[in-house]
Amino acid sequence: MKNEPLVELRDWPPSPETTARHVAALEEGSILFAPSARFELTAAERRFLTPACLDGKSKNISLNAETGALHGTGATGAERDELEQMLRRFSDWARDLVMTLCPVYRDSLRLGLASFRPAEIAGRASSWRKDDTRLHVDAFPSRPMQGRRILRVFANVGSAPRLWRAGEPFEQVARTFLPRLRPPVPGSSWLLRFLHVTREHRTPYDHFMLGIHDAMKADQRYQSAVSQTEIAFPPGSTWACYTDAVSHAAMSGQFAFEQTFYLPVSAMQDPGRSPLRILERLFERTLA
């Protein structure tokens, strides 16, 4: 049976009795939509609702909360400090939200980058690989996940809806594109690490996930013909999903925040629903 692409959380904060259902919905490949969980900007922060805070080259402003590194902005001095503080505040808010939704992940979740996305998506020039208006599942060329899950929280702080498309379940995506992919060249993982192309060892899992990501985006016929659902996230709303498994495309919208989290497959409520275990079942061998 096909999973629901969107599961709406009508009560916020949710009751402890419902958290197992929230986790199950996420792990089954649904998007959790929380229209009442709002990240509110302060009056002073609202001045950053402009693409002018970008550096002219980047589409996002990102913060590494562990190192304090802020990228993608041309702001300097006090203004840069205030941008960093805004992103840190969102990062803390997003972590609290995930802990409320999924307390079972509390001891295993690892914090990734937080980002602010002030640029309009629609009409943005991009190469096909970086074109997020095409359906895709997330995989990173330089950051191998080695099987870890990619959980992301989004908050729309703009005045217009943020429009997404959601595609078919991950296993169907994998069955469509895996036959087109070649296995990794022996020794390529070591070479990529030696040349600093990747930050960690690229496993066969990472190779095939990146191949699926690229093949999906490159196939225009698939993009138009595959079964998909259009979703409009209204201003002030929040949503979360495993973007390594949810086939998604961001079509339009401006002024959103996003926080990435990483989770070991072993910490899942049902590890068998992870892309790693699905691909291993299809290949009948270990991939990470």
Residue 184, token pair as written in the block: 């990794």
| Within a domain: 288 | no
| Within a domain: 231 | yes
pLDDT band at 71 (very low <50, low <70, confident <90, very high): very high
Output the pTM of the full model.
0.96
For residue 122, the domain's CATH number is: 2.60.120
Q: Where are the alpha helices (DSSP H) in the chain?
A: 19-27, 77-101, 170-177, 188-194, 204-218, 220-225, 275-283
- Sheet holding 110-117: strands in order across? 6-8, 31-34, 238-242, 149-156, 256-263, 110-117, 61-63, 70-71
Buried b / exposed e along 77-89 (16+ C-beta atoms within 10 A):
eeeeebbbebbeb
Q: Look at residue 87 and tell me whether its pLDDT is greater than 60.
A: yes
Q: Are 238 and 39 in contact (CB under 8 A)?
A: yes
Neighbours of 59 (CB within 10 A): 17
Q: 6-8 and 31-34 as β-strands: parallel, antiparallel, unpaired?
A: parallel
Q: Print the domain residue range for 145.
A: 6-283
Over residues 102-160, the pLDDT tens digits come to 999 999 999 999 999 999 999 988 899 999 999 999 999 999 999 999 999 999 999 99
The span from the CA of 105 to the CA of 84, in Å, is: 26
Neighbours of 240 (CB within 10 A): 27
Q: What pLDDT sits at residue 1?
A: 39
| Within a domain: 1 | no
| Within a domain: 160 | yes
Split into its structural domains, the chain has a count of 1
| Within a domain: 82 | yes
| Within a domain: 184 | yes
Q: What pLDDT sits at residue 13?
A: 87
Q: Are 108 and 59 in contact (CB under 8 A)?
A: no
